[in-house]
Structure 1
Amino acid sequence: MRAADAAAGAAAAAVGAAALGVELPLVQAGMGGIAGPALAAAVSDAGALGTVALYKSDRALAAALVERTAARTPRTFGVNVIPEVADRLLDQQLDAVLDRADRQLTVNSYGLPPQSFAERVRAAGHRLLIQTGSHRDARTAAALGAHAVTVQGTEAGGHHLGGQPLAELLAELRADPAFDLPVFAAGAVGTGADLLRVLAAGAHGAMCGTLFVATAESAAHPDYRRDLVAAAPADTVVTDRFSIGWPGRTHRVLRSAVTDAPAPLPSALIAWTTVMGTRRPVPRGSAAAPTVEAEGRVGEMARYAGLGVGAITGVEPVAAVLARLREQYARALADAGVPDEARTPDGAR
């Protein structure tokens, strides 16, 4: 990597960090059932942007999640909403956020939200981060009033908003003179060197999900965390086999008997889990990820994982994961020949 590109990336990182009010321009993805208050608070305490997932929460549960996260950290954090699956709950979730927020938050929308939603977020003084999967949707997000956008490549774990690799998306936005929002890159960012790579390619920061699933504060099932530790990028696959409850999106997951079967396996009950306080069955093909409440054949559930999975070497506290990422980032800057005074954000010094 050329020193000039690395230095430009370091400067972009300062812009990304300022856009979200954090030290490190890194956003923890909102992962339904996995990203609870403990994980979100730990990430924020470590200097990045933690995110609590509201997923399909009703107003009461969304309010409780915001309150519990706020009680765990004095720092800013994010709340993740998914307009296409929340449906009629979306307004209830936003009502809860606006009612219970005791500081400026980042409302992180997976996909384009309604215009009225975006207007309410901005009017209340919160930041709006919209996750997209195409150049066109990033432009639409800007028109909606987003303060920043995330562009998600197909390298990312979880559900996909588009079908392009990350480098292609970043190149398109970089070449667009009319697009001037901070951009966060999602897809295969698991190390500090990966962070510098996307910064040098035109991003202002990154969004990571897989990296945080295996942490001590995650609400992922122990078997899911163990499988992530053992996995390599080749152990992931893009499929459409987990569409029950979230149709119409492909998703990157760990390989299993479900993904590798030449045809969809027969419908069957494979596990039980708890959703919004209620014990519910998990059919084969459900979009539900295996959380600590899951019991049954969790290896056949949707174990979302991106190509950055190879960076996971054990189940560790978030603080240790992000301390190592900061060290790796600083080392990558030094290896590229970037002088100390140009190494931003603060955590890279």
Structure 2
Amino acid sequence: MLQQQIETCLAMEVAVFSFFWDVVPEAVSRVKTAGGLLLHQVGTLRAAREAEAAGADVLIAQGQDAGGHVHGRTPTFELLPAVLETTALPVVASGGICTGLALAEALAMGAQGVQCGTAFLATQESFAHDCHKRRIVDAGPQDTVLTDGFVLNWPKGSAVRVLRNSVTDGFGTDLMGHDPDAIPREVIAHDDDIPRLRQSTDSPLRTTTGALEQMPHYAGTGLGEIVEIVPAARRLLDLCTEAAALRDIAGRAQASGEGAA
């Protein structure tokens, strides 16, 4: 299946690929042989080394702060410097980054950029359902949990960071350790004629109808900084403007200190 997807993308002249989860050297090699640029998202140092050895061009260091599927268990700003120390490749930071301050911190550590998910999920252009966007705006970091309870159509143990809902409340303290083979296949929603199962990884989209509250609402820990749904261009401008202002302040402070010395 993966090789077929890659071949389809190459036939459509896709030039940049972003891989996540397990490092598959054969898949990386196929993209590189075809002349593609390959970014590989990793959650551990081991995965970072494997992705670099396989031929990745850029590493995305994803911390456990991220919304959606989370591979590692290390906070973003602990994983980032560790990955930077272990590789000569450009590194992008990912996980919980929703402000210009977080962007500035990542760049100051040596990252070449950041990858944002939650910040742009709550934008007007996002294809997420409005209920998902509103929950992100209304919630805080304490409202997210890491669980492998939404695992149907993914391998056992695949954890996701989501907003608490009736399903995660039903898990109690047993947020981890769910076996997909033991989960009933219960249809709770649809996208047109496509059924969506309770405890699947499918999040509610604009086209989804049904028991939306029971579906996973992905969100990273930075969502407390998102207080409104805005155009994506404005969110990007706000992030960059704040980061640039902080950089200028830091630069002036450094220059002042050097002058005093």
Q: TM-score, normalized by length of structure 2?
A: 0.87
After TM superposition, give the deviation of residue 280 of structure 1 in Å.
2.1
Residue 119 (structure 2) aligns with:
211
Equivalent runs, 1:70-89 vs 2, <5 Å: 88=1
CA distance in 2, matches of 1:174, 1:130: 14
1:95 corresponds to which letter in structure 2?
E
Conserved in 2, the CA contact under 8 Å of 1:185 and 1:203? yes
Residue 93 (structure 1) aligns with:
5
After TM superposition, give the deviation of residue 212 of structure 1 in Å.
1.1
Greater mean alpha carbon deviation, residues 249-258 or residues 330-339: 330-339
Residue 159 (structure 2) aligns with:
250
Residue 26 (structure 1) aligns with:
none
Higher RCO (CA < 8 A, seq sep 6+): 1
CA distance in 1, matches of 2:191, 2:59: 33
Percent of paired sites with the same residue: 39
Greater mean alpha carbon deviation, residues 167-176 or residues 303-312: 167-176
Residue 133 (structure 1) aligns with:
43
- Residue 251 of structure 2: SS of its match in structure 1? coil
Bigger Rg, structure 1 or 2: 2
Q: Could you list the per-position Cα deviations for residues 140-171 of structure 1 after superposition, in whole angstroms to 9, with x for gaps in the alignment?
A: 11011111011111100011111111222123
Output the aligned Cα RMSD: 1.9
2:235 corresponds to which letter in structure 1?
V
Moved over 6 A (4+): none
Q: Could you list the per-position Cα deviations for residues 162-208 of structure 1 after superposition, in whole angstroms to 9, with x for gaps in the alignment?
A: 111122212322333xx200111111110111111122223221111
Residue 107 (structure 1) aligns with:
17
1:168 corresponds to which letter in structure 2?
E
CA distance in 2, matches of 1:113, 1:250: 17
- Residue 175 of structure 1: SS of its match in structure 2? helix
- 2:78 pairs with 1:160: no
- Residue 287 of structure 1: SS of its match in structure 2? coil
Conserved in 1, the CA contact under 8 Å of 2:153 and 2:201? yes
- Residue 40 of structure 2: SS of its match in structure 1? strand
Gaps of 5+ in 2: 176-182, 254-261
CA distance in 2, matches of 1:185, 1:284: 32
Conserved in 2, the CA contact under 8 Å of 1:190 and 1:309? yes
Aligned mate of 1:150, from 56, 60, 72: 60
Residue 220 (structure 1) aligns with:
128
2:46 corresponds to which letter in structure 1?
R
Aligned CA distance change for structure 1 residues 173 and 280 (closer, same or farther; 3 Å): same
Q: Could you list the per-position Cα deviations for residues 289-328 of structure 1 after superposition, in whole angstroms to 9, with x for gaps in the alignment?
A: 1111110111110111001112322222111111111111
CA distance in 1, matches of 2:21, 2:200: 20
1:309 corresponds to which letter in structure 2?
L
1:97 corresponds to which letter in structure 2?
C
- Residue 302 of structure 1: SS of its match in structure 2? coil
1:153 corresponds to which letter in structure 2?
G
CA distance in 2, matches of 1:269, 1:296: 9
Conserved in 2, the CA contact under 8 Å of 1:196 and 1:332? yes
- Residue 145 of structure 2: SS of its match in structure 1? strand
Q: Could you list the per-position Cα deviations for residues 236-264 of structure 1 after superposition, in whole angstroms to 9, with x for gaps in the alignment?
A: 11112101111321110011111122268
Q: Could you list the per-position Cα deviations for residues 51-92 of structure 1 after superposition, in whole angstroms to 9, with x for gaps in the alignment?
A: xxxxxxxxxxxxxxxxxxxxxxxxxxxxxxxxxxxxx2x112
CA distance in 2, matches of 1:227, 1:185: 25
Conserved in 1, the CA contact under 8 Å of 2:120 and 2:232? yes
- 2:171 pairs with 1:171: no
Aligned mate of 2:220, from 306, 317, 329: 306
CA distance in 1, matches of 2:13, 2:88: 28
1:100 corresponds to which letter in structure 2?
M
After TM superposition, give the deviation of residue 120 of structure 1 in Å.
1.9
Residue 272 (structure 1) aligns with:
190
